[in-house]
Amino acid sequence: MTRVQLEVFSLLAELRGFTLVAQRLGISQSAVSHALKSLETDLGVPLLDRTTAQIEMTDIGVRLLPRAREVLGLTQTIRQEADDYLGLRQGSLRIGSFGPTSTLVLLPPILEKFHQNYPDIEVHIDEGSDADVVQWIQQRQVDLGFVVLDDERFETYPLLEDQLVALVPGSGELADHDQIELSELCQHRFIMTEAGSSPLIERLFSDAGLVPTISSRTSQVLSTMALVARDEGVAIVAESAIPQMVEMPGLAIRPLSPRHHRRVGLALLDSNKATPAARAFIEIAQQSHRR
């Protein structure tokens, strides 16, 4: 069992294509096939289901994937520990990010300082929904990621606190209110954003004994804003997720009553197993966003 074999297995599960994996690793497609076959022979179990048109993991493949990624993460840690000792500061760092809050507000100053201090470390930013980032951290697909706090599944480092606000059509009755209650939003079609706040929003309604009439779900805050501006429904988003440079006629933003706050921070599984690059990133993040 080699690192290349485990990397091929992990990337096939992520990219779902032999050609894509070959391009990512800079090797031939036949080398990818050979590496997977050798790993299956070594383990004595099939990792991919070859009876389907698309690449699908077998049951045992799904079970072994997190273990493979854990081993890959540890080997990367060993390599970067050695590089750190030698003063090379080389390697790579993969970050999970969701929505404008982490991608546009939190990341830029952190990355600027990180690249200044560690110019030879390549940083990969994987963007997805809240649930995507959580899954990536759990499966060690990323070294660390931005999450909505609190999350007891991870070691976390708070960076930002903001509040949730209501988005309502500018021409509707709700736009005349200084503050908006959750019960008022339940009287309209609701657009659920999955760009950083959906679990928190769902919990707010649940705790209040309310059930919103969800008409659509969006993965981008701009899409949510555009739908509300066209009177397709109402929504709740985090204040820091609203792009400040975007003006959207027909959209009104109002605070909730009572106020509801949200915290965002970095999360990882185990700081003791984190790479030097990941620990340095956390330290710079805390310096850049002192609370």
Q: How confident is the model over 194-210, as pLDDT tens digits? A: 776 888 899 999 999 99
pLDDT at 276: 86
* Among candidate residues 34, 69, 86, the one where a domain is terminated: 86
- Any domain includes 208: yes
The residue with greater pLDDT, 118 or 168, is: 168
The DSSP letter of residue 6 is H
- Any domain includes 117: no
- Of the chain, the percentage scoring pLDDT greater than 90 comes to 65
Give yes or no for residue 291 having a pLDDT over 60: no
- Any domain includes 178: yes
* Confidence (pTM): 0.72
For residue 212, the domain's CATH number is: 3.40.190.290
Domain count, the chain: 2
284: helix, coil or strand?
Answer: helix
State pLDDT tens for residues 214-263.
Answer: 999 998 889 999 999 999 999 999 998 888 767 788 999 999 999 999 99
- Any domain includes 32: yes
The residue with greater pLDDT, 197 or 178, is: 178
Q: What is the mean pLDDT of the chain?
A: 90
The DSSP letter of residue 28 is -
Query: Cα angle vertex 146, ends 280, 235, to 5°?
Result: 155
- Any domain includes 72: yes
8 touches 32 (CB < 8 A): yes
- Any domain includes 243: yes
Give yes or no for residue 275 having a pLDDT over 80: yes
Lowest-pLDDT choice from 4-8, 74-78, 150-154? 74-78
For residue 59, the domain's CATH number is: 1.10.10.10
Give residue 7's domain range: 1-86
Residue 88 binned pLDDT confidence (cut-offs 50, 70, 90): low
CA distances from 177 to 162, 203, 236 (A): 21, 24, 15
* Among candidate residues 62, 86, 110, the one where a domain is terminated: 86
pLDDT at 87: 56
- Any domain includes 199: yes
- Any domain includes 92: no
pLDDT at 85: 67
* Among candidate residues 86, 103, 126, the one where a domain is terminated: 86
Give yes or no for residue 80 having a pLDDT over 80: no
- Burial class of residue 71 in the structure, from the number of CB atoms within 10 Å of its CB (0-12 exposed, 13-18 middle, 19+ buried): middle
Give yes or no for residue 84 having a pLDDT over 80: no
Q: What are phi and psi of 93, to 5 degrees?
A: -140, 130
Mean pLDDT over residues 127-153, rounded? 91
